[in-house]
Amino acid sequence: MGALIKQETMTHYTFQREPIPGRLLRGDVRIPEGPPPRSAVVVIHGFKGFKDWAFFPHVCRSLAVSGHAVISFNFSGSGIGSHPERFTELEAFAANTLSREVEEVGWVVEWVMTGDLLPRKPASIGLLGHSRGGGDAILHASDDRRVGALITWSAISTFDRWSSEKRAEWLEAGRIHVPNSRTGQEMPLDVGLLQDLERNRARLDVESAASRVAAPWLILHGEADQTVGLEEGQALARAAPSGRLYVVAGAGHTYGVGHPFCMPSRELDEAVEASVTHLSLHLGEG
């Protein structure tokens, strides 16, 4: 547990854990004022994202105000280090794999469900994942029956997102770089990420996992998403017996906001409202 910050309607504290040397997770916990809530929500960022990017703090505060303990965190391979908004750990970013991300979601869920991060053990838990973090959330929810509600925002339907030409280049060079248009950085990816996907293709099959999700699932997607097209949300909805597709009209991949965050957009307000309603229906109101 780290710095304690009192806000008007919640308590906010930070944590960092390193279960395995070299894999440090930094996170935030937000708890509404009053008796400790009986429900918790873990919020999962996506590729080139981080817990303090744009809408994530606003979303976490909104969910906490609605009555849940809310936990957000940076993956150990997010590229974010001690500075909460700068990609200063590019070698950690390069070494990240999909299996690591899924494992780390499991670590955080376990810390939450044992009461290790909270004033008391929650009776129920939900997951909210954005983009690739949505894929991670789907994989975890497919195997963990403790998850009482799942929400994905603009989730990918597959982790396999590279052309045959790019894969060949990657295998030959051992490393590729992806541009970060916001920071201007060329962010490295080691071939271990691709090899992990190849070795664990069945285990990392998002659509297959979607068919096994038992928790009530809100599949929220922007109508105008050009990063992860609406067809991926539709594919998840077809695969998911417990899924309900909710299309936000006119919304792109980041729901009308960017980083740094200034104020919520209409699209973001709609996404937050739908998410709060889903959690209240299936986890209760704290």
- Which tens digit of pLDDT belongs to each residue from 94-122? 999 999 999 999 999 999 999 999 999 99
- φ, ψ for residue 212, nearest 5 deg: -105, 0
| Cα angle 49, 52, 57; round to 5 | 120
pLDDT value at residue 8: 55
Q: Tell me the pLDDT band of 35, cut-offs 50, 70 and 90.
A: very high
b/e map 176-193, b = 16+ CB within 10 Å: beeeeeeeebebebbbbb
> Could you give the count of Cα atoms lying within 13 Å of 113 in the half-sphere of its Cβ?
15
| Cα angle 194, 197, 198; round to 5 | 90
The CATH number that domain 4-283 falls under is: 3.40.50.1820
Residues 6+ apart with CB under 8 A from 206: 135, 138, 139, 155, 156, 157, 158, 159, 236
What's the mean pLDDT in 218-239? 98
CA distance 43 to 28: 10
CA distance 111 to 16: 12
CA distance 70 to 12: 9
* pTM to 2 decimal places: 0.96
What's the mean pLDDT in 174-202? 97
pLDDT at 1 over 70: no
- State the pairing for strand pair 217-222/147-153: parallel
- Chain segment 152-167, per-residue pLDDT in tens: 999 999 999 999 999 9
What's the mean pLDDT in 69-84? 98
Distance from the first to the final alpha carbon of the chain: 22
pLDDT value at residue 284: 75
